[in-house]
Structure 1
Amino acid sequence: MRQLYLNRAIAEAVAQEMKRDERVVLIGEDIINRGGGMSTFLGVYDQFPDRCLDMPIAESGFTHFGNGAALAGMRPIVDLMFSDFSALAFDAIVNGAAKFRFNSQGEACVPIVYVMVNGGRGAYTGGVGSGCNHSQCVEGWFQNIPGLKIVAPYYPSDALGLLKASIRDDDPVLFLYAEGSLGVREAVPEEMEPIPLHHAAKIMREGTDLTIVAVQAMVPTALKAVEELEKAGISAELIDPRVLIPLDLEKITASVRKTRRLLVVHEAPSRGGIGAEILSAVTQEALRDMKAARVLGAKNIPVGSGFAESLIIPQVEDVVRAAREVIAQ
């Protein structure tokens, strides 16, 4: 085991997959000189200079370029830096990559991974917020699109294993890593196997009174909330889905059938978010077993910069309060 920061885990996954498969290429802005906008690919260019391509500041253009490379037999990794910038590449992802397999009647596949940092910088954990154009969570934008897979890890070991699996996948994958986790360090095995994208949910804490499903940056927040609830005699089971599409509905539903209560917590606003989709899916499977459920998300306003981010995104006390309300129903 060694200690690995999240950005190093991403760089290691990419380098290992490029070594394993010569079809893997890395494209994006500042890849060569800075290792990408978040320095998540440091050292990759040094090892594979002929397969790292710097792109102009034109996300809508080089994302289509990546799609073309995938259709031509390559396995591109497209770095979009901030997930907010995926709005500029929406056409390529939604009207292009997500539909090529369907439109070709299964003859064409698009093995492409769009890598981007998702959510706030972590003002709720002592960081400084990046503002409304660099702090959005975009999983809700894309969850309605058939043909896409959405991966959303928080911890370095999960990022390493899930990114390797994403690169090997034959379908387009949105790989979202949390901006607030860039400084997170964790013990990671020397040899990390790919983590399958199916059935990927991980039970972080076992409990009997309430199931909490926490998405990405809300996992460490929910962990602290679980500890506070435990002091009050409330046993909460915490699940990190890690992959949002395909969702590990089986594991989440089994937990809810046991606890009979569900709280979904995510950093994005509640309206139209992944939390409502998770709640809906679980309800369809286990309605008769459920006593209460709710979704806790950010306030319905753009994310403020600086310390204001922490006033908008759910805090530990918000999770504790919401959990108590669900328990009381």
Structure 2
Amino acid sequence: MADDTGGTHVSQGGEFSRDERFITTRITADGRDGYPVEPGRYRLIVSRACPWANRSIIVRRLLGLDTVLSMGVAGPTHDVRSWTFDLDPGGRDPVLGIERIREAYFKRFPGYDRGITVPAIVDVPTGEVVTNDFHQITLDLETEWREHVRPDAPDLYPEAMREEMDRLMRIIFGDVNNGVYRCGFAGTQDAYEKAYQRLFHRLDWLSERLQRQRFLMGETITEADVRLFTTLVRFDPVYHSHFKCNRQKLSEMPVLWAYMRDLFQTPGFGDTIDFDHIKRHYYVVQRDINPTGIIPAGPDLDNWLTPHGRESLGGRPFGDGTPPPPPSAAEVVPAEHTPLAA
């Protein structure tokens, strides 16, 4: 399946599981997998609709890697043959010259039979996909690409914190990032209710953690915040209704709502979010959940810009670094798709 689910599998008990058979080739400083870090050689393919791709968009922007790693943006909807470049003139990526990201997958692996997903990084000279391992892509941008990050970029994966961060990110992935999908794609009432309880138990746990500190790891933004943000920013527009995660809206959970507004109003986070693409993807593509394909008109997005008050907890969002500069004109989210343009 080309969807951001990466392949939907439901067990006999009705439980959703994610196909995580990724292409695990890595782009590294020493090129040990055959793909050395080289400015201008690779192209990051994303969709602004997809939470997994959104991680890469944010990290690339915070680190200032947009000058050395180009980005292609697929449209928000697709068919079973994979994500398409229908946003580009002629329906082709202007760098790779392809209509669908699957062409890069098949170029390297003829007959590729796993999930054709984004984010994916493509080797421009050969036109072949290198990796679609979204777990590793951002970590490698933060570590293997360090020679090319902007001089005052934040440290999103501090070495002294990595063991605790990795443990926390595994919890967030299992219970929240993937947890909303467990609710949405559950095949039985029992499987749904178990997923629902697990999700909201973890959200309550995260609320307690964030009540006493500004960010997940303390005073500064890290990769852990990026990973939680890309799910929670989609909560009210999509997951609350479409995936039946409806105990409360995000905007009804005071601590998480304030935390998310803090991040959304931080350069590099909210300015990557295209709410129109997000809603069109889920409600149009996932017809097994929404057979009519009708896209809800709401919710009102202006509340994302209201004061959050999280400054009272102290902290320095970028640590010893600085905010990223504004995105290039080519990468600005259309004004009608974001409250930031208001």
Q: Same fold (TM over 0.5)?
A: no
Greater strand proportion: 1
TM-score normalised by length of structure 2: 0.29
TM-score normalised by length of structure 1: 0.30
Higher relative contact order (CA 8 A, sep 6+): 2
